[in-house]
Chains A and B, each alone.
Chain A
């Protein structure tokens, strides 16, 4: 009883400390937001009097109005559609090739050790530098943005797939060989289910990097797309719409990232081993690869 009393007395104390800490964290976040908005407005007001960064920092309500006008403009959706198409085609083609190459590298140690230094070299290079080659091969239309998107998606997915292949439990591979599975069956029955988590991680990174890759290509040479729209507003010195497009791009990138994170969590939960009580273990606590193994 005494023990139960101690427990009863301790648990609320800990949770109230946690509540107080969470409250402090929320207050810090709120105050930071208020501080940043106030600072922005001060700079905007000084700018409107011609004292500091004249007309470069618009008032927040100007940006909100510009966001509204962007959202009701038909041309915004045309540009968004172009960026979305380039992103989707680029990501799907780049990621598909990367998964196949990753499986190939993962199954052959010699090829992996021979090719990885070169893949690392190109992977660590700013991909924007390959834009001239892409423009020469595909022109300045949407095809070059798709190709740039594919290139951006390829590297994170190939690295995570290769790593996923290397971390597959050898017992699973031996089981597959014992059952005389052919190459295709090994891929579909053993490799793919076992490395779904690292591949999804690669997809998540790939989606974010493809967004940047496509937008940067649109900024350089394009006849449409959100990057092109941003560049046009900059050239015409339409600052509030420029900020509005940046805000919308950041919101779309965050939404894509959040969607992929949710997909990853869902896959983790689905792949998590069932405990003795019949409940699924929390995937996030198992650290990704541990789940698939």
Chain B
């Protein structure tokens, strides 16, 4: 059974390796121009120089720190606002459509406005990362609380549980999986927006490295920086997926 499960993983890795070998050969034979696509080996070998010149690991922590700060801000805004929308039904109905519409708008395009207000600094990145993060958290918090089973609420009432305990011991544990889905979407959107703004304004962590390497026309280093961003995104996606599975065991 386990061996059968490993077959797709092996096929996937083999496919990736085969693509890398084909690309290496294509560049060596001159079928693909080296100034457009570097050899995969050159990309891998450029990681140490990228670390030395641009402090890849340090900049990873810069992006991580800003994502964490923006997420914390998004949680501070999204969770209480979602709870408010749940408690005041009319406000929930009035604002939910607006929130969903705002979530699908190109918020990243507002970056010139935020640059004018906050300047070209970390605050712009954190605020712009926080906005698309707070929206799904608020929506999912309301949905999670609305989805609490009536039976559970009735059980709480029959035990004369206080309103505070009702929230703490019944509603919150029941809504946590849905709320966490919102947090996961929020964190991913926060990261995406922060890296995008870093790249656009050439400031901050990993996004700035990609932009600077491209401006310097250091092609293998540009590809290496892009691979680093993909690895970070994958790590976030995979990590939050694991936590979500753990919270929603069924």
Using a CB–CB cutoff of 8 Å, the interface residues on chain A facing chain B are: 21, 24-25, 28-29, 32, 53, 56, 110-115, 117-118, 120-122, 124-126, 128-133, 135-137, 208, 211-212, 215-216, 219-220, 227, 230-231, 233-234, 237, 239, 242-243, 246, 249-250, 253-254, 257
Contacts and interface: CB of A to CB of B under 8 A. Distances in A.
Contact of A126 (B12, B213, B233): B233
B199 interface: yes
Say whether chain B's binding surface is mostly helix, strand, loop, or mixed: helix
Interface in B170-194: 188, 191-193
B14 to A, nearest CB: 8
B199 A25 contact: no
Given A114-B12, A132-B226, A53 B117 contact: yes
A114 B9 contact: yes
Nearest to B241: A120
B93 to A, nearest CB: 5
Given A114-B12, A121-B237, A125-B233, A130 B94 contact: no
Contacts of A113: 8, 12
Interface stretch (B53-61, B102-110, B152-160): B102-110
B226 A242 contact: no
A286 to B, nearest CB: 20
B117 A246 contact: no
Contacts of A250: 105-106
B188 A124 contact: yes
A125 B200 contact: no
Contacts of B200: 128, 216, 219-220
Given A25-B94, A129-B210, A136 B106 contact: no
A121 B234 contact: yes
30 contacts: A25-B90, A53-B116, A56-B113, A56-B116, A56-B117, A113-B12, A114-B11, A115-B15, A117-B12, A122-B230, A124-B233, A124-B234, A125-B230, A125-B233, A125-B234, A126-B191, A126-B233, A129-B210, A129-B229, A131-B199, A136-B35, A208-B104, A211-B106, A212-B106, A212-B109, A233-B112, A239-B116, A243-B113, A249-B109, A257-B104
Given A117-B12, A239-B116, A242-B113, A29 B219 contact: no
B250 interface: no
Nearest to A56: B116
B36 A132 contact: no
A128 B7 contact: no
Given A110-B11, A129-B226, A230 B90 contact: no
B36 A230 contact: no
B132 to A, nearest CB: 11
Contact of A216 (B91, B93, B196, B219): B196
B222 interface: yes
Contact of A120 (B110, B117, B237): B237
A128 B199 contact: yes
Contact of B94 (A32, A118, A126, A129): A32
A147 B7 CA distance: 33
Contacts of A129: 195-196, 199, 207, 210, 226, 229-230
A28 B90 contact: yes
B101 interface: yes
Nearest to A109: B8
